[in-house]
Copies of this chain bind each other. A is one copy, B any other.
Amino acid sequence: MMTVTRLDVADARHLIEGAAARAATIGVPMCIAVTDESGQLVAFERMDGGKVTSITIAIDKAFTASAARKATHEYGEASQPGAPAYGIASAIGGRLMVIGGGLPVTVDGVVVGGIGVSSGTPAQDRDVAQTGIDFFLGQRSDGAA
């Protein structure tokens, strides 16, 4: 038997809250998804004005980042023509995302879930996802203090 640690819904809300605040600051309404360590959806919000295509993309970015324990932009680099993971973008029915905006959420060195953001440029999506993680980790520190 194995024991695993994963995000709960309260954690997911913090991740979304931090990400949404950053998205509002840069003026780009986003779709934000949070998955557990197995890649299964825990929470999702489409901010008013978030793109419909981004619903699935955000969910799949979070799925990829958590279930593969790797940031989606890293897959972007690894899957360029000539690079080792070339062609992985169409794996798992196209759910394996190689575009920036999906980040694993790591606590105490273990991946406990993922966050996926979509509607802006990949750089904006990644920035918003990272800000969500920073806010979440800050809340945890506060709670632990």
Contact = CB atoms under 8 A, between A and B. Distances in A.
Interface in A1-36: 1-9, 11-12, 36
A73 B69 CA distance: 23
A56 interface: yes
A6 B88 CA distance: 28
B123 A84 contact: yes
A-side binding surface: helix, strand, loop or mixed? mixed
Given A69-B51, A80-B86, A97 B91 contact: yes
18 contacts: A1-B6, A1-B112, A2-B5, A2-B7, A3-B5, A39-B52, A40-B55, A43-B45, A54-B68, A56-B91, A57-B91, A76-B87, A80-B81, A80-B82, A80-B86, A81-B81, A86-B89, A93-B94
